[in-house]
Amino acid sequence: MVWTYRITAVARPRLVMRLAQVYDQHLLEIDRMSIVRERDVTAVRIEVQCDEYLAHRIHAKLYRLTDIAHVELSNAQEGIVSEGDIPSPNAPSQFDPMTPQP
C-alpha cells in the first residue's frame, strides 16, 4: 500500500538526510519526495510502499526527530492529494519556528 507523509519542520541543515535515514533503516525506497522551503519552514511530502504497521511505526519515529513540528500520514484509500498539498513558496507561513509547539 502507498503511504504519504506530509512533514512540516524547521529548516535546518541535514533535515533531508535525517528523514531519509528513517526510511533507510526499514529498507524502504522512497517512491516520491517533494521539498519546499519557505523562510525558516520546510514542507516535505514523501511517498513509500509498506504495510500499515510499518507506516504507523515510521510516523511515530518521525515525530522523535529534531526540528519536526508536524507529521500527517495518509494512504491511497484515504485519498492522496496532489502537489497542491505542499504550500507555495510565496504563500504566507502559519508556522513560527521560534514558538513552542504542542
CATH of the domain at 33: 3.30.70.260
- Residue 88 covered by a domain: no
- The span from the CA of 82 to the CA of 100, in Å, is 30
Question: Which range of residues forms the domain containing residue 65?
Answer: 2-72
pTM comes to 0.72
pLDDT in tens, the chain (102 residues): 999 999 999 988 899 999 999 999 999 999 999 999 998 999 999 999 999 999 999 999 998 988 899 999 998 665 544 445 555 555 555 555 555 555
**Is-contact 26 61, C-beta < 8 A?**
no
Residues ≥6 apart with Cβ < 8 Å to 12: 66, 67
- Residue 102 covered by a domain: no
Other C-beta atoms closer than 10 Å to the C-beta of 3 total 24
- Residue 91 covered by a domain: no
